[in-house]
Structure 1
């Protein structure tokens, strides 16, 4: 009856080999795993498996990885009524498959009205933790959609048997029904919400479907797997007895003939029996860490079922925090009595004022059947993450700085000096001198403080000491305290932009120095330079002691406030010939009564100026007759 499909198969296989060199499959299969390795990939939480067997034709089972494909799972196992490698995309033909010459399976034949062929069966025992057992799967086939509602109703079964289950129960059911998942039960015409079309479409015809022609992207993009249709990801579930062992049988077979193939994907890690679940509820909603002294909470141990008998859950308490030392004591076991499904244990993190960093509590729950249960890691912080900044800053006088804090709900700043406000996460300070502020943060019942210091840079500007100069002379100013300098007035300075310019004022002047620091602050200082008129002392450069009454006496003439101390005259051999401290007394050109010879003599005059500073003048005079 299905011989016409052989022609389709030959075309599809030929096309597949032509594309093999060009297409890179996005679903990759590995058929080298042993049955034990294959079954182990399915194991998730709360399940231990044993006694793995497989009854299948060569190449009919494999491990798969979905790098980027439309099957809806990342990885798992695939069991096929033909070669497992045929699932690799793209969907280059709608007749992929071949008869493997294998027989059927009686349990699978109970799910269909047709004879089964090429059955592939994986079986193992599973010991469970809780009252439920589940795993995720996808059924797919090349029978879609031409043979919908025909006798070629390829099927698969996920059978379970064991304590509390009468006979053998099929878990591969259409959600919320007792109907088995098969070609005729999940398709575009029935339970279509669980069906995924892979490019062939369906035009209703005589109670079935007429396929459309396969086109791109299904035939060119290896995102699409080879099979013409498949289900969405479905979940098989069974009610079981905790700590008991059950037998599972996972199988698929062709129905009606062995030509077009079908198979089932089972998700890696999805075979699970969720047992005790451990969770934690914190006092501060939305803050998932304990805080010493203020954010405690409750440890919740819950079963996925209501206990019908006494169930003991052993708790392994580890981590860097000490049980009963850093937090209130957690028992090493708890007991669920009949009717219980939740046990709550309050935990308080003790405030010890020690800087310990983040500490951990690791809690692992195990049921008495020694199958690993759930675990949780709790963190204990010394304090909540309260922060404030800038912690230490420096500003220029007159400047303002923004002080900020985060992590709290309420902020209080002290002292109030120079602040624009004393509450909120942002305040502005304009201090006149260095000051330290304290911000107190309230986070629910948690209190934290931080200190922020604002340094106000102090002036080190120094224009140097005051100076007194004589008119017509200069003095070097001595500025310091910055990295840049500016002197005013600039007219009588050699360079107003250096720290030590030469000042040559004609009259008494106050110079103002502005220094700029490395921080950019500007400070000023001043210096006074007094200008004195130079002492007016006149000593003639010649005299004629010849008795004619003119220039006979050499005298010192003083015109302003000068106090003479001494006036000395030396001959050319360095012999002192005259000395006086009284300028009213002059030299008559004699030593004693002896006239000195005509020639040049040297003089030294010592006196005090109007400020009391001693000064000296020297020069030469000529004695003539």
Structure 2
């Protein structure tokens, strides 16, 4: 059985224009049951005086709403419904789309709505009031929503809402809730998805008028989390011309048609019922903090632009009040208290010319425009704008030319007359070359220059400089840790760069040590002399002394070295073994020598024999007593080995074999011979077998071959030899 469809009309004094696009998430809060005064005043905005409000609506069907986040498109306002405003158990306008907005309030309908619907109406909710506009048109924003959407789209019963407006120069009551740019009323069949519902026929939507259905103004709320209705319009704007200062009547009404099921609603934006009065904006060379336009004395001018909603054939005089912290006629050239927008023009400009004054900081200029249609209300302000005026630009480095010592820092301080950007040069010795007050750390005398510029101000760059003279101070180094031996002298030394004979020195250290020369000596040191020695180098230019320190370690002499009674080396390998007894030893040729070496002072050309030396231990610069040590140099077995460099295995009995000649004190433990491709053609281990020039009994090719051999000497050492041989036939 097909049910009757609810028809909702809301007929305003407004021709509509609209815009949309919104998120679906978060919450819509609705507070129900408000008075006519509350609802009307919440809707009213600037340029409109509301009077005599009345409400004929069930308490649960009206409400005031606010949005924290939603796809509705309006953040707050009033809502009128044919059912329940605030949802309870999922029934109402706010909540999940899966809920059902269908409530029978058992309230009466409305005769005007019944005529529009062509059917009986029920559950009417009607807000009415008189108003006086102070402009030549009014407007407000709204969203129409319905549970009838989707399933009943393009159905035989056309849900619609209406605003009724009446008054001077309006014939009867007019419905101005129209699809933008058309005379088609906003209904379910004129604004929808374009897809008919199960009981719908696209012909019903097409019959609404050319272009219908207007899908671009529809929001499909499937899966929505904040509005219960299946669909709603985008935010629409209703606008209508009126005669300023006359009384008009506005009736906002919505009702169910046919039966009391499946509700609809209209959301109206708070404060959006406004008269179209003149507006004002401030214009500067740039925008300052909190989006306030500004200009700068001596660089540019500021201005205010006063506009009316649309150009007409008549000029329009707009009066304004002048406020702000700047004084009209003192801080800027005097301006009048009104401006005339010429005929056929939409705006006029008020230019602000700053006057030279003693710098006193930024000041504001605010113009409060009054409605040209005062409607017996004195000084009715309809809009305002503020312009920020800065003092003339200037910069000044407050830091005077300054002398500092090398390695010292200096805070540079800059006074300015605006929010500049900065560029210091050179910036290599600054902590931040773009800061207003950087820290300078020059190592040489430097003149710093700063360029300050104010983006968008129209002002030229400003410059200033400061000279920082750097007095030289030396870089000093007391050296690495010193190791001393008890009873010895320890030399302290400090290097100074650059050197100046005018420097003075002060050393201090353990055991009450002090000295005033550059390189003092600690004589006959003992354990109390161990510790840290600090030197201060004083310069004559008044800069602080430069200091460094060195640690002196004092140790007892090491004992005499424990050496083998008999030590010998092969004559040919002396250089390889003269450190065998340890590199911490000092070797002397005579007991009275003072210049020892950390190796045995012999080489490979030393003849055979026994050599006598005197040896001590040297531990970190501390030398112990000397002991006598004999070192024997011998001729070892490698001197008796002969390896031929060629042989002729041709069977003539002469030089047919590659044979190694050796003495009786050694033997060949390994011999390998390779051809030029690295292939082993002969191997012999622990024998003195010669090579006959064959491989597996077959003569090898003529050419160069390579040998590697290991020779073991009777005295216990191994020799390793390699070389080439030529095989000739």
Same fold (TM over 0.5): yes
Q: Quote the Cα distance in structure 1 between the aligned partners of 2:344 and 2:175.
A: 29
Task: From 364, 369, 378, give the equivalent of 1:365.
Answer: 369
1:544-601 C-alpha deviation (Å, 9 max, x unpaired): xxxxxxxxxxxxxxxxxxxxxxxxxxxxxxxxxxxxxxxxxxxxxxxxxxxxxxxxxx
SS of the residue 1:44 aligns to: coil
Structure 1 residues 410 and 77: CA distance shift in structure 2, 3 A:
closer
Where do residues 311-460 of structure 1 align in structure 2 (5 Å cutoff)? 311-336=316-341, 338-352=343-357, 354-370=358-374, 371-384=380-393, 396-397=405-406, 432-433=444-445, 437=449, 439=451, 446-447=459-460, 449=462, 451=464, 453-458=466-471
- Please name the residue that 2:665 is paired with: none
Structure 1 residues 179 and 515: CA distance shift in structure 2, 3 A:
farther
- Please name the residue that 1:203 is paired with: none
Q: Quote the Cα distance in structure 1 between the aligned partners of 2:385 and 2:276.
A: 15
Where do residues 129-140 of structure 1 align in structure 2 (5 Å cutoff)? 129-140=134-145
Asked if residue 69 in structure 1 is aligned to residue 78 in structure 2, the reply is no
Aligned residues: 450
Contact 1:309 1:337 in 2 (8 A): yes
SS of the residue 1:289 aligns to: strand
Where do residues 75-94 of structure 1 align in structure 2 (5 Å cutoff)? 75-85=76-86, 86-94=92-100
SS of the residue 1:334 aligns to: strand
Q: CA RMSD in A?
A: 4.8
Cα drift, residue 408 of structure 1? 6.7
Contact 2:293 2:386 in 1 (8 A): no
1:60-89 C-alpha deviation (Å, 9 max, x unpaired): 211011223332211110000112121121
Cα drift, residue 329 of structure 1? 1.2
Cα drift, residue 249 of structure 1? 1.5
SS of the residue 2:39 aligns to: helix
Q: Quote the Cα distance in structure 2 between the aligned partners of 1:154 and 1:36.
A: 28
Contact 2:4 2:258 in 1 (8 A): no
Q: Quote the Cα distance in structure 1 between the aligned partners of 2:329 and 2:148.
A: 64
Cα drift, residue 376 of structure 1? 0.5
1:417-460 C-alpha deviation (Å, 9 max, x unpaired): x99xxx99999996854757565758775357464545445468
Task: From 155, 158, 163, give the equivalent of 2:160.
Answer: 155
Q: Quote the Cα distance in structure 2 between the aligned partners of 1:66 and 1:167.
A: 36
Q: Which moved more, 1:184-193 or 1:316-325?
A: 184-193
Contact 1:25 1:88 in 2 (8 A): no
Q: Quote the Cα distance in structure 2 between the aligned partners of 1:4 and 1:123.
A: 28
Cα drift, residue 506 of structure 1? 8.2
Normalising by structure 2, we get a TM-score of 0.53
Contact 1:312 1:368 in 2 (8 A): yes
- Please name the residue that 1:36 is paired with: 37
Q: Quote the Cα distance in structure 2 between the aligned partners of 1:40 and 1:49.
A: 7
Cα drift, residue 28 of structure 1? 1.5
Cα drift, residue 340 of structure 1? 4.3
Structure 1 residues 506 and 142: CA distance shift in structure 2, 3 A:
closer
- Please name the residue that 1:275 is paired with: 277
Cα drift, residue 386 of structure 1? 6.6
Point out where structure 1 has 5 or more consecutive residues left out of the alignment: 6-23, 200-216, 464-478, 480-486, 525-625
- Please name the residue that 1:192 is paired with: 215
- Please name the residue that 1:259 is paired with: 261
Contact 1:493 1:502 in 2 (8 A): yes
SS of the residue 1:59 aligns to: helix
Where do residues 488-507 of structure 1 align in structure 2 (5 Å cutoff)? 495=509, 501=515
Q: Which moved more, 1:316-325 or 1:174-183?
A: 174-183
Contact 2:315 2:341 in 1 (8 A): yes
SS of the residue 1:170 aligns to: coil
Contact 1:140 1:264 in 2 (8 A): yes
Asked if residue 126 in structure 1 is aligned to residue 128 in structure 2, the reply is no
Structure 1 residues 103 and 294: CA distance shift in structure 2, 3 A:
same
Contact 1:396 1:457 in 2 (8 A): yes
Structure 1 residues 433 and 314: CA distance shift in structure 2, 3 A:
same
Cα drift, residue 47 of structure 1? 2.0
- Please name the residue that 1:467 is paired with: none
Cα drift, residue 138 of structure 1? 0.8
Structure 1 residues 429 and 157: CA distance shift in structure 2, 3 A:
same
Structure 1 residues 394 and 76: CA distance shift in structure 2, 3 A:
farther
Contact 1:357 1:382 in 2 (8 A): yes
Structure 1 residues 164 and 515: CA distance shift in structure 2, 3 A:
farther
Point out where structure 2 has 5 or more consecutive residues left out of the alignment: 6-24, 87-91, 195-212, 375-379, 477-493, 495-501, 523-533, 548-729
Normalising by structure 1, we get a TM-score of 0.61
Q: Quote the Cα distance in structure 2 between the aligned partners of 1:106 and 1:280.
A: 50
Structure 1 residues 394 and 258: CA distance shift in structure 2, 3 A:
farther
Contact 1:161 1:167 in 2 (8 A): yes
- Please name the residue that 2:723 is paired with: none
Q: Quote the Cα distance in structure 2 between the aligned partners of 1:185 and 1:440.
A: 61
Q: Quote the Cα distance in structure 1 between the aligned partners of 2:286 and 2:96.
A: 52
Cα drift, residue 132 of structure 1? 2.6
Cα drift, residue 226 of structure 1? 1.3
Q: Quote the Cα distance in structure 2 between the aligned partners of 1:339 and 1:4.
A: 52
